[in-house]
Structure 1
Amino acid sequence: MPKNPNGGDARTVDAASSVDGADGEATPHTNGQTSGGRNIGARKKQFVIAPRHPPEGLQALGFQPLQFDALEQALRNSSEIEVIDKVGPRSVLSALTDGSGAAQGVLVARMSEQKAAALHQQGQGRLLVERDQHLALMDPTLRLPAMVTGVTPTNAGGPVLNAVISVVDKDGAPQANAEVSLFGSMLPASGVTDANGRVTLSLFGETPETVSGLYVKPKADYWSFYQRDPDISSEEPNVVVLRALSDQPALAGFQRQRAYGWGQKAMRLDQLPGNYRGQGVKIAIIDSGAATTHDNLHDIRAGFDVLNKKTNPDGWNQDTLGHGTHCAGVIAAVDIASGIRGFAPDAEVHACKLFPGGQVSQLIDALEYCIDQQIDVVNLSLGGAEVSEALEQQIIRARRAGVACIVAAGNSGGPVQYPASSPNVLAVAAIGKLDEFPADSYHAQTLDSNVDAYGYFTAKFSCFGPQVSVCAPGVAITSCVPPNNYAAWDGTSMATPHVTGLAALCLAHHPDFQTQQYKARGTERVERLFQIIRASAHKVSLGDQSRIGFGLPDTLLAVGLHPAGARVAIQPQQLVSPMMGSMMSPMSAPASIYDPFILGAMQYYRQPMGYAPIAW
């Protein structure tokens, strides 16, 4: 056995061999007998294993690709590693489509952390071994009042505030399944109303005087409710009267007749010619599914249940969360006699079900589906806690195949989250607008100080940073929820579908994508799409570029139309993308790029006008 230069015998550890005996795990110690149970130790973790793709040109410099097939066989033969899935190209065409030679796929395996560390080390920089992290939807999240400490009361004999909350509509009809939360100085109390519209909540260590907030989120068809410092009684029911969505002037008559959401109007979808409907474009919504029981979503006929691909791959049309259905409504709701109109009702929509419980490996699988199906635009209203190099490689592969990923920036109010922070996607932040929601709804809590003269503001929850490309409406967005209802939600999840729908219209109708140069699928096509969307945007709110990017995209400009009298010529090289370096600020760009915005944006963006072909 060779000698270790530091003394002792050196050992060569095979990638699939054990480390320090069985799995390298510490054996739990017991000080005495157990009482009919078992000691808790660390469980095996799930990992994504993939060959690291060298940057272009490195193979010529001696970077040798990993023999991944041989590694896979070794892992499958190991008694300490359980290979549970392999995600890879679905056809010869999809394997060759990006021309990178990087389509060997990824393995998903369970093993100990020590085993994973040894495997990574043995890969010598040519192998990715990552925790298969869970992803989260960019949900409309409840932001707790600042005074909530999270301290658990310890005095069992202390005060307990029991409050009955009764939720009804303006006619007194009880509203079942409404989520209700009471906030005090310590832990909040939450519950769901019963068939009588009532729920009893108990706040430990609180009195009526210390209650700081009451929040009610209806299941559907009504506005949320939020009251700071509510006057709560413990002696009689506390009644909350919800407003119907149609009570808001902008949605008057909604559900009985067709309507545009405020966000679609802000982006001037309502001024688009009637034949601009996204024909011929394929959109994938990787989310929680899409409820085709909804009248506005009957035309969605394709999808893939990534979570249950081995047992029920066609379960994509069951949406227990409603999140994917809400996104689908903004993107592609058909304009029947009632309900909302989506951006691209004639596009071919594929619903990829990844939630609840989606992981990075499954998102890689969903993107593989998009490559195989030749999807044009993907909506990703989701994110993870950490950057994944394995996922980034798949995003690059999708981009090379002509798949454009539009991604929500995140709702934490902090830096842009991954994968929106990737230089290979278009990241979308959220804005709101005054007078588009009731003052007593929870939407009012998203308001910040960056309000412009037209009422646009940057949403308090929206993530920010140099990766933000554009912003879009993401506060009080009314859209579809299962089974055949509507709800007004907040989030960058709601902003992103506005841009995804716009991207579909752009690909279907902008003159550039009718030419051979940009009709062909590939990186150049995706980058041109992103350039056009950014170039169509104009500044809104008083927020800086880290919060709005290039601003709010305009539908007419993005499809190659513009108000009569305005001319603009934008060449691809004039707009520097974040993925090519630092993003050019609209204020520092050549004036010729932004002439129509500088000369009269504040007028024509808010007045009905004619349109004419635009020269890009």
Structure 2
Amino acid sequence: MPEAEGRRASTAHSATKASAEPSENIVGSASTEQFLIAPRSGSTARSFGIQPLSVNMLNVAVQGLDVVRRIKRPRATLATLGIGQGEATDVLVANMEPERAQLMAATAPQLSIGRNSTLTYGSGPATMREAFFPAAAVKPRQIRFRVLGENDRPLEGAVITLTGDTVPSQGTTNTKGEVTLDLYTLHDRPARSLFVTRPGGYWDMYLTEPSLSDMTGNIVRLKAYSETIEGFPKGFQYGWGQRLMALDHLGPELRGEGVKVAIIDSGADNTHPLLSHLKIGRDFSDGNPTTWSNDVVGHGSHCAGVIGARSDEQLRGFVPEAEIHILKVFPGGRYDSLVDALDYCIDHQIDVVNMSLGGDDEINPVVEETLIAAVNAGVACIVAAGNSGDAVKYPGKSPNAFAVAAIGSVDDAMPNTWDRSNLRPQYLAADGVFSPAFTCHGPEVAVCAPGVAIISTIPGSGFEAQTGTSMAAPHVTGLAALLLAHHPVFRESLAGRSQARVAGLFSMMRSMCVQYPFGPTRVGAGMPTLAGMDRILQPAGKQAGDKTVTPQGAGPALGGFGTFTPFQAVPGMIPVPVPVPAPVPAHADPQVLAWLLQQSQAAANPPVSWMLNRLNAGV
């Protein structure tokens, strides 16, 4: 129940105290919040020296609470958590006072308790600001706009947001491309910002303090993708981000056969010609599991295109032949739906899952235990770092996830767009790559990837440029899926799904990075690249060579080009080798691969208690 409804219910209860039913005082009370309550799994509980909770004891503990949902864990998840006979396993979603949640967390170590926070996705210009001024001081002006597109054709359906000193004015152009908006500013100030978008193949326009006339009309000229990208859309096979990561250097036979990828997002529209091969999914957002292909947001379809678009002439995703599972949690997703989706990944033996989403800043213990179960089952979790320009959001900050920050390219972020407005001179590299202002940053960032002005599929049959760490994460997910499908290490010694394989994958991706001078908190180990991997990756059905190389010491030498040195590991992961710049990519050297394999095998099955202790210590 929305909080506003809860306040109304509470007020009504106070006014009719004698006649109201008892349930009105509990459900939706303004003083309650929604929490996840889960019994600590058997192996986790015993690592803390406590007895796992029984089913009866869990029911006693939650007596009197407004339990709105019970999540039944699948057998595959329970198997990874070491659940014993008679132990409680359900995750409960309950409304209760924060004080009671704190009391239970402090006195019941057998339980994991955390807020059932709302999940978010995407990013955009911060135009919806509010400011309050005396009404007499506000001076409205009428601003007329005419929006033109390719060949100066009037654009119907363009959305204009005009921000002054109060709530922004917004309108949509008519068939003549025209709309009139009120501009409210204090003392004849200019507008603070102008933001113009037009779905269907056009770059946006974003200007701060634009020069506008209230005496004459104002013409806005939007550029079409086809004006800036040669041959678009027919000749558009690789986005700038895919080219930067050298996907176009690989042969057409490396397409991700045999690997399972899940995308936890807003669904994916498989009526799009490039997504028509997507046949598997589930909707966790509204109770109807079959509506996973109804993407009313467009976010998930965009991510699906980066990862798995299939076409011989148009955009190619990283792994168009992978088995892709679409798990819908938006709109309205919370942590409980994320737990559902992760359980699905474990149960369906997913290899790598993309999570272009985030919650709040706190690590949720219920979700965290599910992430641990996923890692134990061999599911690699790739997560967007967040788009608020501050600390990495959860689950990106989990030590059991691989957080991805965003980078952009000056050459591919059009002038006078919101994308270009995120450029800061101090975060610009010599090759034109930049770390955008919106990307979340912190020690949890594992790598960075292209996430500014990324063109991909949207519901229907079109394409759209979107921006955010939500777009960066699918680039890394796609690269991870390629490695799992075609790298000899993951087809032989680490072929089985396991914690060791996840650790080896994460470490290998870090070792493949091009570094940027923005600091590790913004870009992690750098951007993973497939440059040189055409000599390593093997097409489906082809056997890798049987040559082996004995590892030398803590890190293999790279001839006269430099050395491998250990990099501090992500908590719960193995040490990450970072290559010194060398003429031959370090990840193509067989000594490096042999050493990596040795490290991955040595990291097999570290005790869950070790990871939890590091987590609880704030490492």
Aligned-pair CA distance for 1:97? 4.4
> Cα 1:306–1:29, aligned 2, differ >3 Å: closer, same or farther?
closer
> 2:443 maps to what in 1?
466
474, 478, 481: which one aligns with 1:501? 478
Amino acid at match of 2:117: Q
Q: Deviations over 1:128-160 (max 9, x none)?
A: 2332111111x132135xxx9732233147311
> 1:42 maps to what in 2?
30
Consecutive unaligned residues in structure 1, runs of 5 or more:
1-24, 32-37, 606-610
Could you say what secondary structure the match of 2:479 adopts? helix
Aligned-pair CA distance for 1:554? 0.9
Is 1:108 matched with 2:93? yes
The 8 Å contact of residues 539 and 550 in structure 1, kept in 2 or not, is answered as yes
TM-score scaled by length of structure 1: 0.81
Aligned-pair CA distance for 1:49? 1.0
CA distance in 1, matches of 2:479, 2:485: 10
Consecutive unaligned residues in structure 2, runs of 5 or more:
1-9, 17-23, 538-548, 557-563, 594-619
Amino acid at match of 1:503: A
> 1:415 maps to what in 2?
391
> 2:325 maps to what in 1?
350
> 2:78 maps to what in 1?
95
148, 155, 172: which one aligns with 1:168? 148
Is 1:553 matched with 2:545? no
CA distance in 1, matches of 2:56, 2:383: 33
CA distance in 2, matches of 1:393, 1:61: 14
Is 1:229 matched with 2:206? no
CA distance in 2, matches of 1:134, 1:262: 32
Amino acid at match of 1:72: N
> Cα 1:115–1:452, aligned 2, differ >3 Å: closer, same or farther?
closer
Moved more, 98-107 or 401-410: 98-107
96, 105, 109: which one aligns with 1:125? 109
Aligned-pair CA distance for 1:490? 1.1
271, 275, 289: which one aligns with 2:253? 275
CA distance in 2, matches of 1:457, 1:124: 47
Is 1:188 matched with 2:168? yes
180, 183, 197: which one aligns with 1:203? 183
Aligned-pair CA distance for 1:113? 4.2
Aligned-pair CA distance for 1:425? 0.8
Aligned-pair CA distance for 1:202? 2.1
CA distance in 2, matches of 1:428, 1:88: 31
What CA RMSD, in Å, does the superposition of the two structures yield over aligned residues? 3.3
Is 1:428 matched with 2:408? no
CA distance in 2, matches of 1:265, 1:614: 27
> Cα 1:614–1:381, aligned 2, differ >3 Å: closer, same or farther?
farther
Is 1:266 matched with 2:244? yes
The 8 Å contact of residues 433 and 455 in structure 1, kept in 2 or not, is answered as yes
Is 1:213 matched with 2:193? yes
Aligned-pair CA distance for 1:184? 2.4
> 1:404 maps to what in 2?
380
1:443-462 paired onto structure 2 within 5 Å: 443-449=419-425, 450-462=427-439
CA distance in 2, matches of 1:112, 1:220: 47
> 2:559 maps to what in 1?
none
Could you say what secondary structure the match of 1:259 adopts? coil
Is 1:577 matched with 2:562? no
Amino acid at match of 2:472: A
Aligned-pair CA distance for 1:206? 4.5
CA distance in 2, matches of 1:559, 1:53: 43
TM-score scaled by length of structure 2: 0.81
The 8 Å contact of residues 510 and 560 in structure 1, kept in 2 or not, is answered as no
CA distance in 2, matches of 1:94, 1:274: 36
CA distance in 2, matches of 1:599, 1:556: 11
Q: State the identity %.
A: 38
285, 296, 299: which one aligns with 2:274? 296
The 8 Å contact of residues 282 and 376 in structure 1, kept in 2 or not, is answered as yes
> Cα 1:62–1:432, aligned 2, differ >3 Å: closer, same or farther?
closer
Aligned-pair CA distance for 1:581? 7.6
Is 1:143 matched with 2:120? no
The 8 Å contact of residues 161 and 206 in structure 1, kept in 2 or not, is answered as no
> Cα 1:534–1:557, aligned 2, differ >3 Å: closer, same or farther?
farther
Aligned residues: 550
Is 1:59 matched with 2:46? yes
Q: Deviations over 1:267-321 (max 9, x none)?
A: 0000011111111111111011101111111111111100123xx2111101111
Q: Deviations over 1:355-395 (max 9, x none)?
A: 11100011001111111111111111111113211111111
Amino acid at match of 1:105: D
